[in-house]
Amino acid sequence: MFISKEWNNSKFDKQELGQEVARIMFAFYFWNNVAYALKVCGPLVTVLRLVDGEAKPSMGCIYEAMSETKGATKKYLLWSTNM
């Protein structure tokens, strides 16, 4: 988006705030943080989809999914802090 003709021709490309947004979007740290958030929240979203679906799973299935989610999240958080 930030390298397109439409962006270059827009008023936002010339404004300080628009340039700051573009700098953030091109920054490596921003995308690392996005990847981190997705890896931490991804398993939780899977459980929420399971619970919110049309078919109602049994409580045992939900507890198992929650346990797996806790384990996956904890494993990733411990792994990322040891880097």
Q: What is the DSSP letter of 74?
A: H
Q: For 9-48, how does the pLDDT look when each residue is reduced to its tens digit (9 = 90+)? A: 888 888 899 889 889 999 999 999 898 888 888 888 988 8
pTM of the model: 0.61
Contact criterion met (CB below 8 Å) for 49 and 65: no
Q: What is the DSSP letter of 19?
A: H
The dihedral formed by the CA atoms of 77, 40, 48 and 61, expressed in degrees to the nearest 10 = -40
Q: For 52-83, how does the pLDDT look when each residue is reduced to its tens digit (9 = 90+)? A: 878 888 888 888 888 988 888 888 777 666 65
Say what the pLDDT of residue 83 is.
58
Three-class SS of residue 81? helix
Could you state, in order of their start, the residue ranges of all structural domains in the chain? 5-81
Nearest to 36 by CA among 83, 1, 3: 83
